[in-house]
Amino acid sequence: QICLSLVKLLFYLAHSPLGSIVLLDFQPRQFVMVDGNLKVTDMDDASTEELSCKEDNDCTLDFPTKSFPLKCSAIGKCEGINEKKNLFNAYRYFFTYLLPHSAPVALRPFLSDILNATGDLRYGINETLEAFEKVLHLYKSGLYLQKRPLHLKDFISLKGFRTVEGEDYKCWPSYSHLGCLLSVHSAEEAARICNSQSQCQSFIVTQQKTWTGRPLALFQSSMTDLIPDANAVVYIKRSASSGERL
């Protein structure tokens, strides 16, 4: 969410009515999340000036660990230098820390491609935004889920009940510090996750939604008391259930 919002912001800066705007003091502290969108807190160090040049050798974009040769345009400006400076700073301050983590395994190759392409400045801001939106579409639609044997068949569903929420086993990246609360596309994906975790014995798909509209599923290691809830369904591993308990 943070990286996508940043890319949308940089896309606007690259195509602003004032021309391409560069953030000269590009630091994480310069940004803040407001209603799920990244905002720049200080525009004092923003500039529309692009480096003047006479030849391509005048257009090297230097960073502490990398340098990039750019072209000198016919009007004597280094082509795309503001856009590329913003994008590489986004790569080194945000993408490298946030993109490799917390995405479903099937989507990680797409994020690695974005990371590598922006780190080498092979992508401009247009291509970067397009790549992010493709990943978001795959994530929201569930198209990244490969066709595998159904996992829900390993579970008994109890409609009209939910379990008592409390401190339980932890997982990463959980939305709760008390237990294992993860974003899922469906109960089938939740069942697959539960089957992959040795501690998991049951789960519920909650009414909570993430910023993408995906529900959160709570995974639990033991069967606690069941509470009547007309809108809920508890999924229990068949291997964990017993006649006495049910």
Compute how many other C-beta atoms are within 10 angstroms of the C-beta atom of residue 161: 16
Q: Which residues are catalytic?
A: 25
SS (H, E, C) the chain: CHHHHHHHHHHHHHCECCECCEECCCCHHHEEEECCEEEECCCCCEECCCCECCCHHHCEEECCCCEEECCECCCCEECCHHHHHHHHHHHHHHHHHHCCCCCCHHHHHHHHHHHHHHHCCCCCHHHHHHHHHHHHHHHHHCCCCCCCCCCHHHEEEEEEEEECCCCCCCCCCCCCCCCEEEECCCHHHHHHHHHHCCCCCEEEEEEEECCCCCEEEEEECCCCCEEEEEEEEEEEECCCCCCCCC
Distances (CA, A) of 60 to 123, 150, 187: 17, 54, 52
- Hey, what are 50's tokens? 């692009």
